Structure 1
Amino acid sequence: MGVSTSSPEKGISVVTVDFPPVNALPVRGWFDLAGAVRAAGEDPGIRCVVLRAEGRGFNAGVDIKELQRDATGHDALIGANRGCAEAFAAVYECEVPVVAAVHGFCLGGGIGLVGNADAIVASEDAVFGLPELDRGALGAATHLARLVPPHLMRVLYYTSRTATAAELHAHGSVWRVVAREDLRSAALELAREVAAKDGRLVRLAKAAINGIDPVDVRRSYRFEQGFTFEAALAGVASRVRDTFGKEAPR
């Protein structure tokens, strides 16, 4: 359980997340993930990183129960916000391209990870969304806006609805949709193609592409997080969060 790194092929590092039962990451998990991705990118022998997960889904966001247990203050919220910011930035700033291999649900913080990845390969059962308004939080619209057009992003954000892998493929943000059992091999296939390039040129290309991005994703996301803190201080966040796990099935 936790975050692990392997190198199944020359030039490729696979970072795997495993936090049962649903990959809702605790504060420590976000920082561990950030460290693993950065370390992989700093390895001169690595030319591409694959980010994947074990279990029922790719990522269910922040561990809400950890936030609920922090009854004395906002330490858990501050930790989660900082951890998410570092993990998202680690993916974006990784010195080599990052391929996200997504299965099942990709929610909340999961959107921050894949929205900052260089490419997404998804299984047919993958769904993507931001249930933040149902969880007493705000954030990651920065990253959802990198996956879908602006007005669709707003509808998904306001309603907490999800989009399928096929829908994101139609918008061009998912590179390939495959059967669940083929996901790992499909992600490695793309990573292998990237890793076949000259290592120094790949790193220069990543830096160049990041440099022409129209939005500073780190600053944009931190701006969003300020509203999460405002919701927490106003008591809105805890009121909504206390309904977590109690709502009727949709």
Structure 2
Amino acid sequence: MGVSTSGPEPGIAVVTVDFPPVNALPVQGWYDLADAVRTAGRDPAVRCVVLAAEGRGFNAGVDIKEMQRDTATGGHGALIGANRGCAEAFSAVYACEVPVIAAVHGFCLGGGIGLAGNADAIVASDDAVFGLPELDRGALGAATHLARLVPQHLMRALYYTSRTATARELHAHGSVWRVVSRDRLHEAALELAREIAKKDGCLIRLAKAALNGIDPVDVHRSYRFEQGFTFEANLSGVADRIRDTFGTENRQGAGQP
């Protein structure tokens, strides 16, 4: 459980996230993920990083229960930690010195959109769905990254409704490189990584820096701007009210008292 790194082939590092049951990361998990991606990118022998996950889905965002435990005692440490941790992880993927491929299966929600949206390429399984259920979770944010996956008006509609888009829909928009069956996802991601890893290590790093340099949106600044509204929602009490409702619905749905 946690974040691990492996090197299945020369030039390729696979960073795998595993936080059962749904890969909703605690504060430290976001920092661990950021460290793993940065470390892989700094390795001169690595020319491509694959970001993958174990379990039911790619990523379900932040650990809401951790946040609720903290706010129940009147604290905001978990909220601040999650804000900073997410920013660190998203930034690590975007600024990684080599291309990052997100291998997405199942659900890619909330923070998962921040990771996939900042990746250089996405390979997804045919059961993958992408979305920001933030308004249903008492939060805001990652519209910056969803806007990198779908056109502006679709991004807004998805954001306001908390609906999801399928991997095939994103493939039609050009943001998902390839859609494969779940059992083919790992190999499909490695196939793309293998092709990238054949390039000269120095040149691929220059290419990554060049592409980031011509990006029309400063993803670091725009995401931090969004997070200010998340914090405002928390200070006003709106976020707690919505999160508490979400927690109750989840317990009832699971047959818990």
Whole-angstrom distance in 2 between the partners of 1:9 and 1:243: 46
Whole-angstrom distance in 2 between the partners of 1:62 and 1:159: 20
Q: Aligned AA for 1:233? A: L
Q: Aligned AA for 1:54? A: E
Whole-angstrom distance in 2 between the partners of 1:107 and 1:233: 24
1:246 is paired with a residue whose SS is helix
Whole-angstrom distance in 1 between the partners of 2:89 and 2:45: 22
Q: Which residue of 2 aligns with 1:226?
A: 228
5+ long unaligned stretches in structure 1: none
Q: CA deviation at 1:73?
A: 1.2
Equivalent of residue 135 in structure 2, options 133, 136, 147:
133
Identity of aligned residues (%): 84
Q: Which residue of 2 aligns with 1:108?
A: 110
Whole-angstrom distance in 1 between the partners of 2:56 and 2:216: 35
Q: CA deviation at 1:58?
A: 0.2
User: What per-residue deviation string (whole Å, max 9, x for no partner) do you get for residues 23-71 of structure 1?
Assistant: 0000000000000000000000000000000000000000000000002
Q: Which residue of 2 aligns with 1:63?
A: 63
Q: Which residue of 1 aligns with 2:208?
A: 206
Q: TM-score, normalised by structure 2?
A: 0.96
Compute the RMSD of aligned alpha carbons.
0.8
Q: Which residue of 1 aligns with 2:22?
A: 22
Whole-angstrom distance in 2 between the partners of 1:96 and 1:246: 43
Q: CA deviation at 1:244?
A: 1.6
Q: Which residue of 1 aligns with 2:218?
A: 216
Equivalent of residue 83 in structure 2, options 58, 75, 81:
81
2:179 is paired with a residue whose SS is strand
Q: Which residue of 1 aligns with 2:148?
A: 146
User: What per-residue deviation string (whole Å, max 9, x for no partner) do you get for residues 124-152 of structure 1?
Assistant: 00000000000000000000000000000
User: What per-residue deviation string (whole Å, max 9, x for no partner) do you get for residues 206-238 of structure 1?
Assistant: 000000001000000000000001001111010
1:137 is paired with a residue whose SS is coil
Q: Which residue of 2 aligns with 1:155?
A: 157
Q: Which residue of 2 aligns with 1:12?
A: 12
Whole-angstrom distance in 2 between the partners of 1:141 and 1:59: 16
Q: Aligned AA for 1:207? A: A
Q: Aligned AA for 2:2? A: G
Whole-angstrom distance in 2 between the partners of 1:64 and 1:128: 19
Q: Which residue of 2 aligns with 1:35?
A: 35
Instruction: Count residues in correspondence.
Output: 249
Whole-angstrom distance in 1 between the partners of 2:52 and 2:77: 28
Q: Which residue of 2 aligns with 1:94?
A: 96
Whole-angstrom distance in 2 between the partners of 1:166 and 1:215: 25
Q: Which residue of 2 aligns with 1:186?
A: 188
Q: CA deviation at 1:245?
A: 3.2
Q: Aligned AA for 1:202? A: I
Q: Aligned AA for 2:64? A: I
Greater share of helix: 2
5+ long unaligned stretches in structure 2: none
Q: Aligned AA for 1:42? A: R
Q: Aligned AA for 2:118? A: N
Whole-angstrom distance in 1 between the partners of 2:132 and 2:123: 19
Whole-angstrom distance in 2 between the partners of 1:110 and 1:244: 19
Whole-angstrom distance in 1 between the partners of 2:61 and 2:136: 13
